[in-house]
Homo-oligomer: A and B are copies of this chain.
Amino acid sequence: MTGTRRAGTQSLPFRSVAAKRRSPRLAISLDALDSHLGYFIRRVQIWVFQDFIRTMKPVDIRPAQFSALVVIGANPGLSQAELAATLAIERARLARLLHRLQARNLIRRLQSGDDGRRHALQLTPQGRTLLARAKTLAARHERRLIEKLGAAPHEMLLQALRDF
């Protein structure tokens, strides 16, 4: 059944995977798309979202929610503005996202500052427990991505894109 793939696919050279995937049935030309990095980034990103969401099903956490929980967990007391800037999430969208996390009792927003308008973000005990579990699941997702890309290309991509 798995004829064309041996065990330990992560050690297969890049190209052999590619040849199979790029043109599913026929030799269909990608023409100009073949030089557009954004096209390929989008394809990988869709795979990542699908796999991440599936992996996170036991904790029911979406990618952006996970990012917010991780950063709040590692930086207790940070403000919504700081979180928005760190994650490059539009502030209105972040407000909705935090509202949902608060409704699930995963985070709390403490009023702080002179005028009480600054919200200091913290995980609740329940949030900390869930985040620990979510991190374990996320690591499982990442291992699958490493297996698909190969360890060296994964590390190379991380270096390159981290700095975008």
Contact = CB atoms under 8 A, between A and B. Distances in A.
Interface of A: 14-15, 17-18, 21-26, 28-49, 52, 63, 67, 70-71, 73-75, 78, 82, 85-86, 88, 135, 138-139, 141-142, 145, 148-149, 153-154, 156-164
Q: Specify how many copies of this chain sit in the oligomer.
A: 2
Contact residues of A: prevailing secondary structure: helix
A74 to B, nearest CB: 4
A38 B145 contact: yes
Contact of A71 (B21, B30, B88, B163): B30
A38 B33 contact: no
Contacts of A74: 29-32
A39 B14 CA distance: 22
A28 B71 contact: yes
B138 A164 contact: no
A48 B142 CA distance: 23
Contacts of A48: 37-38, 41-42
Contact of A40 (B26, B30, B37, B161): B161
Contacts of A43: 88, 161, 164
